[in-house]
Amino acid sequence: MQNFTFYSPTYFAFGKGQENNAGQYVKRFGGSKVLLHFGGGSVVRSGLLDRVKQSLTNEGIAYVELGGVQPNPRSGLVYEGIELCRKEGVDFVLAVGGGSTIDSSKAIAAGTVYDGDFWDFYQGKLVEKALPVGTILTIAAAGSEGSPDTVITHEDGMFKRGATGEALRPAFSILNPELTQTLPAFQTACGITDIMAHLFERYFTTTKEVEVTDRMIEGLLLTMIHEAPRVIADPDHYEARANIMWAGMMAHNNSCGVGRAQDWASHDMEHELSATYDVAHGAGLAVVFPAWMQYVYKNDIMRFAQLATRVWGVQMDFADPEKTALAGIHALRRFLTSIGMPGNFAELGAKAEDIPQMAKTACYGNGRGGSIGGFVALHEEDVVNIYNLML
């Protein structure tokens, strides 16, 4: 195991009705003037936004509003939010929505107290200071409610890039599984895929002797495999939603990713897909991940066999471990199909002709040095090969 530090000072309030305490939590964590940041109509239509406003008003907390966050959130709205926060003297950003809204809120929170262009953070500058952020989560997926990370797409070039820094861990996050019950099955399945991807990206490592985090990751994957079909069959299944929601936070707050090299090449390759076609992040990951596994599994057959037996219930073939490894990848494909995820470029609406450009951007775009990934370092040619496996 490698040396590491781990710091997750987010206050989590989990369960039914917790959003009605939003005002109290904003107060507890020092907010007096809030930017209420959200996406589209569902947060408004469902009455959630009104309840949150009421909760702020009850505590005597002032707020300004900024809606309009899109999936794959854009830089334009971040610039707008930063200007608004400065003009209005905002001291707390409250995200009401999913990963996109939270990521946009984090970008605004960091940018507001930074002298330069907020995009600097998305080109590798560590975020050391930001306004405190609170979140009221409406989809279990990105894990941004517990992570120090944010991903934004810059409209000038459509680069999708991430930033990080301890200052971006939310001060509090409200997780009410009921708020996710209105999600369509497709979005629910996209969230499930994203959560599983966060676990895979930590699981495939070159670090030896990481049994504790292996076992935790496997436990969270087993949870997803158990709960996903139940929630797809019955969107109102509170208990399944609850288990998925806590797993989604644990999958990405890094408590099970500490002390081990990780591999984020699949996320990097997916970011090119969603930047190019504006596809849902989870749907893109459903296409990317099995292809990536297919391409790299020979680098550590026993790790893939371990995943197959411990998580997918494949019988170990001791005479031919490679068969076991491949059966695990096949089980993942079957699972993703069963929850309604796309399996290839055509189902995603992606085009073979864009592969060279996407591979180039993934490896070299926006300051990258020519390769991605930690489990296996992938160069441009490898990325082309992997995209080709998705056709």
Of 127-135, 215-223, 268-276, 336-344, the segment contacting a second copy by CB under 8 A is: 215-223
Instruction: Using CB under 8 A, count the residues that bind a second copy.
Output: 44
The verdict on 236 binding a second copy (CB under 8 A) reads no
The verdict on 129 binding a second copy (CB under 8 A) reads no
Beta strands 159-164 and 149-154: pairing type? antiparallel
Phi, psi of 371 (to 5 degrees): -145, 155
| Dihedral over Cα of 330, 332, 335, 337: its sign | negative
State the Cα–Cα distance between residues 136 and 174, nearest whole angstrom.
5
Amino acid making up residue 229: P
The verdict on 229 binding a second copy (CB under 8 A) reads no
- Which residue in 115, 116, 156, 208 binds a second copy (CB under 8 A)? 208
Of 223-231, 293-301, 365-373, 376-384, the segment contacting a second copy by CB under 8 A is: 223-231
DSSP 74: B
The verdict on 19 binding a second copy (CB under 8 A) reads no
Contact 25, 174 (CB under 8 A): yes
A 10 A CB-CB count for 164 gives: 18
State the Cα–Cα distance between residues 63 and 34, nearest whole angstrom.
4
The verdict on 218 binding a second copy (CB under 8 A) reads yes
Nearest distance in Å: CB 213, a second copy: 8
Q: Give the list of residues 6+ apart from residue 347 with CB closer than 8 angstroms, or none.
A: 287
- Which residue in 56, 152, 216, 285 binds a second copy (CB under 8 A)? 216
Which of 2/299 has CB closer to a second copy? 2
Which of 71/328 has CB closer to a second copy? 328
The verdict on 233 binding a second copy (CB under 8 A) reads no
389: left (phi over 0), alpha (psi -120 to 50) or beta: alpha
The verdict on 239 binding a second copy (CB under 8 A) reads yes
Nearest distance in Å: CB 259, a second copy: 7
Residue reference for tokens 């299944």: 237
Which of 14/186 has CB closer to a second copy? 14
Q: Which residues of this chain interact with a second copy, rule CB under 8 A?
A: 1-18, 208-213, 215-216, 218-220, 222-223, 226-227, 239-240, 242-244, 246-247, 250, 255, 258-259
